[in-house]
Amino acid sequence: MLTHNEIDFKPLESRLGYEFKDKTILLQAITHRSYLNEHSDFPYDHNERLEFLGDAVLELVVTENLFINYPNPEGELTNWRAALVNAKTLAGIATDLQFEEYLLMSKGEAKDKNSKARMYILANAIEAIIGAIYMDGQWEAAKKFIDSHILSILPNILENKLYIDPKSRFQETSQELMGITPNYKVLKEVGPDHNKEFTVGVFLDKELIAVGSGTSKQEAQIAAAEAGLEAKKWEIK
């Protein structure tokens, strides 16, 4: 894993489509707070303030684009925006940009590659990058990045109705193709009351299609529905 003194930013900037005038702001954008715990010589802050800024810029750019280009009702536009800016979408964009290899994290965080926490770290880092681009190149530069890497996936979201939550999508598809309404059952729950983890199965009639887990029954049901869409190949990636 690289340290902050060893980074060659050129490949990352090439993938981002933006060359920073001030490299230190890019360095800050890729720095998770855990990195500072192990590198007392790091001269800058972590990326959470840039994430705060980038989140606002992202929401405004996406909202403006949807408002100008689509005459749909507010509720539909809200759902589309949520599908574009949620953590799962942004983490996927970070993966496509091969962004993870540049993240500065503690050794412990770096090892934990497949957790939900990693998804949020990646998503937050994309927002921090947007904040950094805004600070370095102002509105048009940030807008260009968002247009290119985030708004560009809107047609796929609309075509495949990915703005509909997974439970609704699984239910609509199962009813349409099979005439069956899915049902969910808690298969396991572990941990103390204040920190439980639930494992839920989604069934079509008596057939177990997929399982999912989460810190609430609702979260586990959503995870099970997502897994069910994949298992039945009802979701185009």
Spatial CA neighbour of 166 closest among 188, 184, 189 = 184
Instruction: Output the domain CATH number for residue 28.
Output: 1.10.1520.10
Percent of the chain's residues with pLDDT above 70: 96
- Of 159, 177, 203, the last residue of a domain is 159
DSSP 101: G
134 and 18 in a single domain? The answer is yes
- b/e per residue 64-96 (b: at least 16 CB within 10 A): ebbeeeeeeeeeebebbbebbbebebbbbbbee
Whose tokens are 């703005």? That residue is 163
193 and 154 in a single domain? The answer is no
207 or 235, higher pLDDT: 207
Contact 127, 32 (CB under 8 A): no
What are the tokens at 38?
């192990």
Q: Is the pLDDT of residue 177 over 80?
A: yes
Residue span of the structural domain in which 218 resides: 166-231
pTM, rounded to two decimals: 0.79
pLDDT score for 40: 83
204 and 140 in a single domain? The answer is no
Residues with catalytic function: 55, 127
Q: Is residue 5 part of a domain?
A: no
Q: What is the mean pLDDT of the chain?
A: 91
82 and 186 in a single domain? The answer is no
What are the tokens at 90?
């942004």
> Confidence class of residue 237 from pLDDT cuts 50, 70 and 90?
very low
Report residue 182 CA to chain centroid gap.
27
Number of domains making up the chain: 2
Q: Is residue 237 part of a domain?
A: no
- Of 159, 175, 208, the last residue of a domain is 159
Q: Is the pLDDT of residue 13 over 90?
A: yes
> Confidence class of residue 192 from pLDDT cuts 50, 70 and 90?
confident
